[in-house]
Amino acid sequence: MVCQYLSNYYLPTRKEDPRDAEIVSHRLMVRAGMIRKLSSGVYSFLPLASRIQHKIDNIVREEMDRIGGLEVKLPIIQPRELWEKTGRWELYGPEMMRFKDRRGAEYGLGPTHEEVITDLLSYEVDSYRDCPLLFYQIATKFRDEVRPRFGIMRSREFSMKDAYSFHADEEDARKSYREVEAAYCRIFDRIGFDYRKVEAATGQIGGSLSHEFMVLADTGEDLILYCDSCSYAANQEKAEGTVVMPEEEPARELEKFPTPGVKTIDDLIKIDSEALPERQVKTLVYRSGDRPLVLLLPGNYQLNEAAVEEQAGGPLSEYSEAEIKQLMGAYPGSLGAVKQDAAIKNLQVWADPSLKGRSNLYTGANIDGYHYRGVDVGRDLKIDRWCQLRVSIAGEQCGRCGNGKLQEQRGIEVGHIFYLGDRYSRSLDADITMDDGQKKPMIMGCYGIGTSRIMAAAIEQSHDDNGIIWPRSIAPFDIYILPISWANDQQRKQAEEFARIFEKQGYEVLVDDRDVSPGVKFNDSELIGIPLRITLGRALEQGLVELTDRATGSTREIPVEQCLEQVEVYLTENGG
């Protein structure tokens, strides 16, 4: 039961938008007195935001408990040696914040906790009988993001619910994956999100099966591609489409021609106007493990690094221009993979399927300042493997059903689940003894929810020109009681009476007892977005009060005696 009087509360609302805010949730959170910036990507949460965060965390906690999750608290400070065992001290790169203690030992601030929990369980769990286990925590994470922005949407210090499951076999791990997936749906349903579950790339966490939960919003940083005919939906990083190519003219002969100074796709078009981007074979060379990988895709597409890393089973890194010259015989700008070229013979070449069967294309000759025209992919190029290398785009045919077309929409990633297999348990010796006496690494899953990001995502999805519109499930209070004048005896007494009654009924009430103008009170009540407002004004002399629905703005005048009943009706209809 909660009843707060604003004169005892701390609600520093502002009229002005913060200058660094690019999206509405960031603007409104600062204006509604919820967050304040300490430094880039680092924020303090004021009382209002803390209340909302608690509500979000509680929903997450309830649903994790319901599927048997056990809450734990894991250290933020994590030693280098542990991360070296999984290879991630290197792999995680500059996103991990690192420091040395007074003895010179190195640590990272936990960006995620696979290493810590797996290491812990490697000492605790010996037998298949101890499995399955599902541990979770709601805790602060640190990531030195390349571009912290959008307030707490992408911050460097943020709060995450992370969960890890441990299993004796793959089947059990997949079962758990599905249970967490269902729990996530319940969480996002309860919050009232309009969201979509999509197939996702696994990035450097590793693993083979993964889904993201995307809150649909135009300001989302992720692009989702979904099929307009079947249920396929995927993050653009992962999406598989097929490109329908126009009929080719009969293949011409392969011809080498001089292209002095050509470095880019546009440069080549200036020399030969038929060399449109889609006719040029983009040739890229990356280091994968300790070997070079030559990647071919049409010039009008972007390379999908995440997809290539998944195929290659590890991260890609770049070569210097000098190293490329050494490998290929030419600098970037004149690279190609034409069969007869000696340089290409010993290199692995992967090509994007959208190049299949095409002819009359252009490619570099691996001689600076020379290209080929009339390239027939099947006849002329050395290709060792076909796999998707391009980022798919809207308009491609669905790679799943083959019937529909891929459409796009933007999303905010609020959750991400991974089937990990034994990626971590193997490197950290988290073995168990099976019933036949054999030892083998446990099978794992890991599951994240951006609990602080959820707050921002909820605002992106639910606001108007006047401010935030909280869904009831995470609203900081249920009812805002607004007496026009606190100095007016009748209004004050009625406000206090309402506060008592509603609190007793289990509602959370905020009473605006400030000595400020009615305009300020109305503006603040709209800005902070409490679902229901009761206004006590002059009509109270006739026994009437006003009930206003924040979401629709609709206002009704009702007799005081009917107020409790009406509030109940309203709040039950709106997610009570």
Binding residues vs ligand ATP (CB under 6 A): 112, 143, 145, 154-155, 158, 160, 413-416, 448, 450, 452-453
CB of 40 to ligand ATP, least distance (A): 12
The CB-of-180 to ligand ATP minimum distance in angstroms stands at 13
Which CB atom, from 413 or from 478, has the smaller least distance to ligand ATP? Answer: 413
Nearer to ligand ATP, 76 or 560 (CB): 76
- Distance of closest approach, residue 106 Cβ to ligand ATP, in angstroms: 22
Give the residue with the Cβ less far from ligand ATP, 158 or 350. 158
> Among residues 84 and 144, whose Cβ is nearest to ligand ATP?
144
The order of strands in the sheet holding 370-375 is 255-258, 370-375, 361-364
Work out the number of other CB atoms within 10 angstroms of the CB of residue 559. 12
**Hey, which residues does 78 pair with through a beta bridge?**
108
CB atoms within 10 A of CB 409: 17
Q: Using alpha carbons, list the distances in angstroms from residue 563 to 354, 511, 555.
A: 65, 16, 13
* CB-nearer residue toward ligand ATP: 348 or 409: 409
Alpha-carbon dihedral sign for residues 313, 315, 321, 323 = negative
User: How many C-beta neighbours within 10 Å does residue 12 have?
Assistant: 13
- CB of 328 vs ligand ATP, minimal distance in Å: 33
For residue 309, give the H/E element and its range.
Answer: helix 305-312
> Smallest distance from the beta carbon of 541 to ligand ATP, in angstroms?
50
CB of 230 to ligand ATP, least distance (A): 25
Closer residue to ligand ATP, CB minimum distance, 2 or 205: 205
SS3 505: coil
CB of 221 to ligand ATP, least distance (A): 6
Residue 67: closest CA among 154, 151, 132: 132
Whole-number Å distance between alpha carbons of 34 and 51? 10
Cβ closest to ligand ATP, residue 33 vs residue 415: 415
Contacts of 504 (CB under 8 A, 6+ apart): 1
Four-CA torsion 411, 416, 417, 423, nearest 10 degrees: 130
d(CA 236, CA 233): 9
CB of 422 to ligand ATP, least distance (A): 20
Q: How far is the CB of 560 from ligand ATP (least distance, A)?
A: 45
Taking the least distance from each CB to ligand ATP, the nearer of 213 and 486 is 213
Parallel, antiparallel, or unpaired: how do β-strands 316-318 and 281-288 relate? antiparallel
Q: Which residue is nearest to ligand ATP (CB)?
A: 450
Cis ω before 132 (30° cut-off from 0): yes
Instruction: State how far the Cα of 194 lies from the Cα of 314, in Å rounded to an integer.
Output: 34
Q: How far is the CB of 410 from ligand ATP (least distance, A)?
A: 13
Write down the least CB distance from residue 417 to ligand ATP, Å. Answer: 9
Report how far residue 350's alpha carbon sits from residue 361's, in angstroms, rounded to the nearest whole number: 17
Please, which residue, 307 or 414, has the CB nearer to ligand ATP? 414
Quickly tell me which residue has 């449109």 as its tokens: 276
Report, in Å, the least distance between residue 89 CB and ligand ATP.
Answer: 17
Phi first, then psi: give them for residue 134, nearest 5 degrees. -130, 110
Non-local (6+) Cβ contacts of 157 within 8 A are 41, 42, 43, 140, 141, 142
Q: Is 434:130 a contact under the CB 8 Å cutoff?
A: no
Q: Which is nearer to ligand ATP, 150 or 362 (CB)?
A: 150
Distance CA 320, CA 327 (A): 11
Which strand (E) or helix (H) includes residue 211? Answer: strand 209-216
For ligand ATP, the closer CB: 197 or 405:
197
For ligand ATP, which is the closer residue by CB, 113 or 373?
Answer: 113
Residues 6+ apart with CB under 8 A from 524: 11, 13, 512
